[in-house]
């Protein structure tokens, strides 16, 4: 029958303090409580650990053998508790983060050198998937999701939202002209997503509402691929600012139909399992990345 920590602690404290009474005082227990703990321990071990006389206690041979092991067990538990306490102050351990390629490249990777300096004991595993993954199956701690979340068994923390806009390269607009009205898009080459289909509903005000469903002439599964296609002058694309802001600033891509954009912003969330105890390494990463996102 396994013995308890309380029983081990009672035994070691009695030896260290020299009596059951002194041990009870140190442990904040009654004398009878400590005595019962010793009795249970001896019964479980089927051995006499202490010889009790009216004047003193003396370890038996079995008691001397058991005392070293008991001290090791209690010391290991103290060390484990200390390590947990240290983790609370200095997060440590492996952290697995998943995000779509554009978000990973433009919003996470540029800050990882600084994160590693601040949290040297956290070992990062970064993965990129364009579709939502099963966190448990992929052994992932945090997944960054772009767009409206579906109901699920996941906790979510909002990291903000990103504006979306239509873009094209200067070379494309020079060759094909700039669309001045939403209807003009029908005469242009449009770059869209293979899936999900909702990403091909562009935030444009038109006679039918605030979103325009487009049919792409060239499609890709990743926003980063579409960004590269737009930079290469292959058509008009709709992208979030978090992946195209630097291209706009540098003039590599130019805004199209800005006057017709609806105010829709794409939500960005970090998700993790509801039954996950929010470890310090998870909190540290989320706090860090939320402070550095410029959306």
- The CATH label, of 3.40.50.2300, 3.40.50.300, 1.10.10.10, 3.20.20.120, for the domain at 5-89 is 1.10.10.10
Q: Would you say 131 and 253 are in contact if contact means Cβ atoms under 8 Å apart?
A: no
Neighbours of 205 (CB within 10 A): 16
Q: Would you say 10 and 23 are in contact if contact means Cβ atoms under 8 Å apart?
A: yes
Going from the C-alpha of 61 to that of each of 20, 64, 65, 166, the distances in angstroms are 19, 5, 6, 83
Q: Would you say 123 and 245 are in contact if contact means Cβ atoms under 8 Å apart?
A: no
> Scanning the structure block, which residue is given the tokens 């004991």?
121
Q: What's the gap between Cα 241 and its chain centre? A: 23
Which pLDDT value is given to residue 78?
Answer: 74
Q: Would you say 264 and 145 are in contact if contact means Cβ atoms under 8 Å apart?
A: no
Cβ neighbours of residue 170 under 8 Å, at least 6 residues apart? Answer: 251, 252, 254
Indicate the CATH number for domain 93-295: 3.40.190.290
C-alpha 180/C-alpha 73 separation (Å) is: 76
For residue 287, give the 3-state DSSP assignment: helix
Which pLDDT value is given to residue 86?
Answer: 63
Which pLDDT value is given to residue 137?
Answer: 56
Under the phi-then-psi rule, with left for phi > 0, alpha for psi from -120 to 50, and beta for the rest, what region is 46? left
**CB-facing half-sphere around the CA of 84: CA atoms within 13 A:** 7
C-alpha 59/C-alpha 54 separation (Å) is: 15
One digit per residue, the tens of pLDDT, for the chain of length 295 reads 678 888 999 998 888 888 888 889 888 899 999 999 889 988 988 889 888 776 778 899 998 999 889 888 888 887 676 567 666 677 888 888 999 999 999 999 999 999 999 999 888 989 888 777 666 556 688 999 888 887 666 788 999 999 999 999 999 999 999 999 999 999 999 999 998 888 999 999 987 888 999 999 999 999 999 999 999 999 999 999 999 999 999 999 999 999 999 988 999 999 887 554 567 788 889 999 999 887 6
C-alpha 187/C-alpha 199 separation (Å) is: 20
Which pLDDT value is given to residue 17?
Answer: 82
For residue 62, give the 3-state DSSP assignment: helix
Q: Where are the domains of the chain?
A: 5-89, 93-295
> What pTM was computed for the model?
0.67
Which pLDDT value is given to residue 258?
Answer: 95
Q: Which two tokens stand for residue 229?
A: 């296609």
């Amino acid at each position: 029958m396994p013995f308890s920590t309380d029983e081990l602690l009672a035994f070691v404290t009695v030896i260290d303090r020299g009596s059951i009474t002194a041990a009870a005082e140190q442990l904040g227990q009654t004398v009878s409580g400590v005595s019962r703990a010793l009795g249970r321990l001896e019964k479980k071990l089927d051995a006499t650990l202490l010889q009790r006389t009216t004047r003193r206690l003396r370890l038996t041979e079995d008691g001397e053998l058991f005392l070293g092991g008991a001290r090791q067990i209690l010391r290991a538990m103290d060390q484990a508790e200390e390590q947990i306490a240290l983790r609370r102050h200095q997060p440590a351990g492996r952290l697995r983060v998943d995000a779509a390629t554009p978000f990973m490249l433009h919003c996470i990777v540029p800050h990882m050198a600084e994160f590693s300096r601040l949290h040297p004991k956290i070992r990062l595993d970064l993965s990129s998937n364009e579709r939502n993954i099963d966190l448990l199956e992929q052994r992932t701690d945090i997944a960054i999701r772009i767009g409206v979340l579906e109901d699920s068994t996941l906790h979510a923390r909002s990291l903000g939202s990103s504006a979306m806009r239509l873009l094209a390269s200067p070379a494309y607009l020079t060759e094909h002209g700039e669309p001045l009205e939403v209807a003009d898009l029908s005469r242009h080459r449009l770059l869209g997503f293979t899936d999900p289909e909702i990403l091909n509903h562009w935030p444009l005000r038109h006679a039918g509402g605030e979103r325009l469903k487009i049919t792409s002439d060239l499609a890709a599964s990743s926003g980063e691929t579409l960004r590269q296609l737009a930079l290469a002058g292959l058509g008009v694309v709709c992208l979030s600012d978090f992946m195209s802001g630097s291209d706009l600033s540098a003039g590599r891509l130019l805004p199209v139909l800005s006057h017709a954009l609806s105010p829709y912003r794409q939500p960005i969330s970090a998700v993790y399992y509801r039954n996950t105890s929010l470890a310090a390494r998870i909190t540290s990463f989320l706090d860090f990345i939320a402070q550095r996102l410029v959306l």
